[in-house]
Structure 1
Amino acid sequence: MTGADEQETYPDGMRELIAARRRRRAALVYHPGESLPPLDADLDALTRRLVPDEEPAPLPAGHSSFARKRHELLPEFRGQPELCLLNALLISNLRKFTWPDHAPALFLRLWREKADFLTLRLSSRWLISSVITFAEHGPTEADRRVGQSMNVLFSLMKLYEYERQYSGTPSDEAFRIPGRAKGPLPMQMLGFQIVGGDLEANLLLDIVEQALDAPNAGALASALVDRLNRDPRTIFRRFALMRQRLEALRKARDGGEPAGEP
C-alpha cells in the first residue's frame, strides 16, 4: 500500500493543471462591431461617463465570449465610471494567452494617467487584479517583479484565509495561544517564532522595497500594502494580536520582563 507521504496531491503532476490553465486562458472572441476602445481613447470622458445603474439586458443568442465577459462584469460596476469597467475588461483580455494588439498599451496608459482615480474608486479585489496584471505586462523588470510578488502574496493569502474559515474562527479573531496542534510543518520547514520572529514583516518589506523601484506598478503596490496594513481580517493582524498576548503573558509570568519564545 502506498504511504500517505508518497501519494501525490495532483496524481498527474502538473500536466493536467497546465492543460486546464490553457483551456481557461483561451482568448476572448469578438464579433463584428465589438472592440475595446482605441489606444488614444478619451480617458477623461470615461471618468465622467457612468455605467448604467440597472440590470443589463439579456444577451442575444450566439453572443461572443467578449460580450459574455462584459455582461458578467456590468453588475459589479453599476453606477461607476466607465473607466473602472474598461480596466476590468482589459485585465480579462490580458489574462488570456492572446489579446487585442493594443490592449497592453491601453492598460498601461490607464495606470500612467489615471492611477490616482482608479486607486480611489476600485475595490481591493480589482486593485489586486490590476497589480497582478503587471506581472506579465509591466514595461520594466521592476514592474513585472513587484506584480509577480503581489500575485504570490495575495494568491496564497486567499487560499489560506478561505481554508481558515472552516476552522469556525472569524477572520478578525486570532487563535487561542494554548491548544496549538503539535506536529511537523510541511516540506521540513522550521516553526515560526511569534515573539521575536519577523518573517511576516520581512515578507511585506521586500514588496515595499520592490515597489519603490517600480515606475508604473509601484504606487499601486504601495497602496495595496497600506490597505493590507489597515485590514483587521488578515494573518498579519492576527499574528500581531497573538504577539501582544504572548508578550503580556510572559511579562506577567516573569515579573515584567518578556521572555524568549521556547
Structure 2
Amino acid sequence: MARDDADGIAAHIAELNDLCAQMEGDLLLSCEDLAGDLPGRAAKRRIYPQLMRHLNTLRNGLRGRVVFYFFTREANAWLRSAYVQSLKHHKKFRSFDGFLGFLNNTDGIWDGILARPRAKLGADFIEIPYQEGGDFSAIRALLEVILGDGATEELDMKDARRNSAPSDEVVELLELLNSSGASLEAIRAAKKSLLTEATPKVEFLDADPSEWPPAKRKPDWLSEDLIPLWSRVEARANWQLQPDLMPPFDCDLSALRRRPMDAPDTFPEGGRNHMENQVKILAYRFRGMPEICYILGLTISYLRRQTGHEEHATFLFQRLWNEEFAVLLGVLPTRWLISTFQTFMDHGVNENQRLIGAAAYFMSNTLKLYEAERALDGLPPGRPYPNVAPATKSGFWGLDRFQVGGTDLMLNSNALLLELAARDDTAGRVVQEFMLRLKKSDTAFSRMDKTRYVNKIEHPQFSNCWSFHIPPDIKE
C-alpha cells in the first residue's frame, strides 16, 4: 500500500476475498506494517500519515465485516523500539535524541494518530494495550480479545515467539557503528554479528609460525650509509620481562563482542614500556568500542615485543580474526587494520598470511605517507590535481613519471593486492575491508581518477585503467 500500486493492491484484495470465500467462520490476517513504515525508515517526519487511507482501502475492498485490532504501546517505549529497528537496518541516526528530533511532535502520539480511526470505525477499531515485560505475548493478548478472557488457557503457546529487544549495551554499539567510517558492507555484517549468538571457536591452529624474534643477521653487503638504519633493525623486538595480562586461551569472545569497553575518559599516566600501563592506555583508546577490540589491541601489543607470551597472543589474535572479524571490521579505525597487517606479517600462522600482511602493511603505510604530505601542503584531499603532466623535476633519479591517465600503476597495485588477499581468508578479509575503505575515500588513487575524469583524458592503451577498474562515481 505504501507504494500506491492500485493494480497490485486490487489484486491482493481479490486474493483475500477468494480466500475468505473458501473458508468458514472468521479469518484473522496479520500485517506488521499495515499502519505504514516505522518512524525513521523513510524520509517522512510524520508518523503513520496514511493509516486511515490503508484502513479504508481494506474496509471498502473486503467483503463482510472487517474489524481492525491495533496494539498501542507506551509512547516512549514504542518510539525507542522503532529507533532500535532503525539502528539495526539503517545508518541514519546515531542517538535516540537525534531520532526524536527528526520526527514531528511526538507528544500524545496515539491520540493524534488514532483520532480518525476511532471516530470513523467505532467498534470495528479495537485497541489492545501492549504490556512491557518478557512474559507478555502479543498473540495471546490478541486471541484473548477475540475469543474472550481465559480462552487461551488450553492452548499450547510455549513456542510462541516473544518480542525481544537488544540490550542497552548492544544498542550503544549499534549507535557506534552508525558513526563508523568502515565500508557499508562491513557495518551491515557487524550489526548482524552483534545481534546473533556465539560463533564457533577456533580450537587449534594448523600453524607454521615465523621465526620470532626475527633474524637480525647483518649482511656482508650492507652499505655503510645504511648502518645507522640497521641499528633500528637490531632494536626491534628485544627481550622484555612482562606479565601475561591477556584473557584465557578459551575465553568467551562472543560475550566480549557485545560489551562496550569501560574506561576513564582521561589519558592514563605512565608510558607504554610496561604492560601494566599499556593495558590502561589500550582501555582508554578503545573505550566505548566492543571489548574484543581492546583484546585485539592487547594481543598486538604483546606481539610487538618478545615476552615469551607469543603463543598465547598469537592464538587469541587468530581467534579474534576467525571468530569475530565481522564486528572488528565494522568498528576498528583504519590505523588498527594497519597494525593488524604488521602482525600478520610478523606472526602469520602460514606463509600466505605473512605475505599478505607484508604487502598490505607497505601499501597502507605508503598511502598514509602520501596523505600526510598532502595535508602538510594544506591541500584538500578530494581536489583534483591542477596539472595532468609532471610540472617539476623528479627528486629521485630514474624513478618513472607519468601523465594522468597514462599509467596502470594504480590499477595493478590494487589488483595485485587483491590477488594476494585471496590466498588466505583470515588475513584476506582484513585487506578487503581496507580496500573498500580506500575505494570510497579521497586519496592519491581517487585524485588520479577524478583528475582524469574531469579533464576527459583518454589514452587508448590505458582506457580501462582506473584505480578499481571502473570510472569513479562523481556527482556532477
Specify the TM-score bucket, using the shorter chain as the normaliser: 0.7 to 0.9
Partner Cα distance (1:54, 1:148) in 2: 35
- The answer on whether the counterparts of 2:262 and 2:287 sit within 8 Å (CA) in structure 1 is yes
1:145 offset after TM fit, Å? 1.0
Instruction: Give the 3 Å change call, closer, same or farther, for CA 57–156 of structure 1 in structure 2.
Output: closer
Corresponding residue number in structure 2 for 1:69: 278
Residue 169 to residue 179, structure 1, CA distance change in 2 (3 Å)? farther
Shift of 1:245: 2.8
SS at match of 1:78: coil
Instruction: Give the equivalent residue in structure 1 for 2:394.
Output: 184
AA partner of residue 35 (structure 1):
L
Pairing of 1:100-119 with structure 2 (within 5 A): 100=309, 101-119=311-329
Say how many residue pairs are matched. 238
Letter in 1 for 2:274: S
Are 1:205 and 2:411 an aligned pair? no
Matched, 1:235 2:444: yes
Which residue identity is paired with 1:135? M
Q: TM-score normalised to the size of structure 1?
A: 0.80
Question: Is 2:442 the counterpart of 1:224?
Answer: no
State the shift of 1:246 in Å: 3.0
Specify which structure has the higher proportion of helix.
1
Structure 2 length normalisation: TM-score? 0.46
What is the aligned-residue RMSD (CA, Å)?
Answer: 2.8
Residue matched to 2:12: none
Instruction: Tell me how far apart the structure 2 counterparts of residues 132 and 17 of structure 1 sit (CA, whole Å).
Output: 19
1:30 aligns with 2:242: yes
Distance 1:259 1:224 in 2: 29
User: Is it true that 1:156 corresponds to 2:156 in the alignment?
Assistant: no
Which whole-Å deviations, capped at 9, do the CAs of 1:183-224 have from their partners, x for residues lacking one? 135140221232231111110100111111113201111111
Name the larger-Rg structure.
Answer: 2
**Unpaired stretches in structure 2, ≥5 consecutive residues:** 1-222, 462-476
Residue identity opposite 1:96 in structure 2: R
1:57 to partner: Cα distance: 8.6
Counterpart among 283, 287, 300 of residue 78 in structure 1:
287
Q: 1:212 to 1:178 in 2, by over 3 A?
A: closer
Question: Which residue pairs with 1:251 in the alignment?
Answer: none
Any idea what SS the aligned residue of 1:102 has?
Answer: helix
Query: Which of 80-89 and 133-142 deviates more?
Result: 133-142
Distance 2:444 2:368 in 1: 11
SS in 1 for 2:225: coil
For structure 1, which runs of at least 5 residues remain unmatched after alignment? 1-10, 249-257
Using the TM superposition, give the Cα deviation of residue 238 of structure 1 relative to its aligned residue in structure 2, in angstroms: 0.5
Structure-1 separation of matches of 2:388 and 2:428 = 40
CA distance in 1, matches of 2:231, 2:306: 13
CA distance in 2 between partners of 1:113 and 1:145 (Å): 22
Counterpart position of 2:228: 16
Deviations 1:236-256 (A, max 9, x none): 0000111113326xxxxxxxx
Q: Residues 28 and 107 from structure 1, CA distance in 2 versus in 1: closer, same or farther, beyond 3 angstroms?
A: farther
In the alignment, is residue 49 of structure 1 matched against residue 259 of structure 2? Answer: yes
